[in-house]
Amino acid sequence: MTRILACALYCNSDGTLNGLGTFMEWVIGILLGLAALIWVIKAIVRPSSMSPGTRSLLSGRNIPAYTAKVDAVTPGGVRVRQARCCAAGHQLPEQAVAHAAAIQRRIETTGR
């Protein structure tokens, strides 16, 4: 009974939705368009906030992503080694080294 009433309210005689589908398509399209526009504006305003992969995709060039190894000892004496400071990488080797040093200080201070 409920299905019949819902179809009577929202369906055309051929079974398609009565205006609701096209409205939702427009809303979803506008939201996706706004999200893409915001993403592009953020990339133009602050390109350093993007990951190297995104920068490579937008520029069309292969931009290297630098990482650095982390070697630290926790306050409890446990040696911690990480192959890289982060998964995204950095634009410059100096940034990677600075990030690895910050991680090392955090591990040596807090143990995490």
**What is the DSSP secondary-structure string of 42-59?**
HHHH-GGGS-HHHHHHHH
- Total domains in the chain come to 2
Whether residue 65 lies inside any domain: the answer is no
Whether residue 61 lies inside any domain: the answer is no
Average pLDDT over residues 28-51: 82
Angle at 54 between CA 46 and CA 50, to 5 degrees: 30
Kindly state the percentage of the chain with pLDDT values over 90: 38
Higher pLDDT, 93 or 1: 93
Whether residue 16 lies inside any domain: the answer is yes
Whether residue 57 lies inside any domain: the answer is no
Domain that holds residue 78: 70-110
pTM of the shown model? 0.51
Distance from C-alpha of 22 to C-alpha of 28, rounded to nearest angstrom: 10
pLDDT tens readout for residues 44-96: 777 666 777 777 777 777 778 889 999 999 999 999 999 999 887 888 899 99
Whether residue 51 lies inside any domain: the answer is no
Whether residue 34 lies inside any domain: the answer is yes
Q: How confident is the model at residue 35 (pLDDT cuts 50, 70, 90)?
A: very high
Whether residue 77 lies inside any domain: the answer is yes
Whether residue 60 lies inside any domain: the answer is no
The whole-number pLDDT of residue 62 equals: 79
**Mean pLDDT for all residues in the chain:** 81
The whole-number pLDDT of residue 94 equals: 93
